[in-house]
Amino acid sequence: MAKTTSVTILSLLFVLLETLIFMGTVSGSSIHDLLKSEGLPGGLFPRNIKSYTLHEDGLLEVYMGEPCLAVFESPVKFDTVVRANLSYGGLIGVQGLTQEELFLWLPVKDIIVKDPSSGLILFNIGVAQKQLAFSLFEDPPVCSPQSNLSHSLSPFLSQLILLL
């Protein structure tokens, strides 16, 4: 009887541990490692995220703590929560991520690596698709909190005003 109870408890603990690892809540399991394991560059999300959850259906939720700005080739805004369906080589149906193009903030809809050997990553911003070098996203950027100025001005102008 005691042996059966021990085996049952160990089995339950093992299942719980597997669930925690899958959900991305075990320390040491980073969003950056997860992205790399799915054929994406590890630096798509900033290094200062608060946490993330990967649901069994592939829905990835990344919690930033507060909206923030990062710069890859152009400025990018991360909302407090960024959601997307994660599959190998892609983040599909992205919500909560916008990219500045010609002084306009456009929502990023998909992020796709079609051919890893090409060294390119595709950003679908709805009205256009933008190909960027995979190497731009190898290292996670630091995401700076947004001020009220950042909502209405480009990040460059916001930084210039703060320096004055």
The predicted model scores a pTM of: 0.72
**Domain presence at residue 2:** no
Burial class (CB in 10 A: 0-12, 13-18, 19+), 160: exposed
CA–CA separation, 17 and 145 (whole Å) = 34
Triad 148, 153, 154: Cα angle to 5°: 120
Amino acid at 42: G
**Domain presence at residue 19:** no
CA-wise closest residue to 155 among 98, 111, 81: 98
Q: What is the pLDDT of residue 146?
A: 75
**Domain presence at residue 153:** yes
**Domain presence at residue 59:** yes
**Domain presence at residue 97:** yes
**Domain presence at residue 77:** yes
Number of structural domains (the chain) is 1
**Biggest distance spanned by C-alpha atoms of the chain:** 75
**Domain presence at residue 99:** yes
3-state SS of the chain is CHHHHHHHHHHHHHHHHHHHHHCCCCCCCCHHHHHHHCCCCHHHCCCCCCEEEECCCCEEEEECCCCEEEECCCEEEEEEEEEEEEECCEEEEEEEEEEEECCEEEECCEEECCCHHHCEEEEECCCCEEEEEHHHHCCCCCCEECCHHHHHCCHHHHHHHHHC
Range of the domain at 131: 30-163
CATH of the domain at 78: 2.30.240
Burial class (CB in 10 A: 0-12, 13-18, 19+), 136: middle
Q: What is the pLDDT of residue 127?
A: 82
**Domain presence at residue 94:** yes
Q: Can you say whether the dihedral through the CA atoms of 147, 150, 155, 161 is positive or negative?
A: negative
Going residue by residue through the chain, which has 164 residues, state the pLDDT in tens, using 9 for 90 and above. Answer: 555 544 444 343 333 334 444 444 433 479 999 999 999 999 999 989 999 999 999 999 999 999 999 998 899 999 999 999 999 999 999 999 999 988 899 999 999 999 888 999 999 998 889 999 999 998 999 899 975 434 445 555 545 444 44
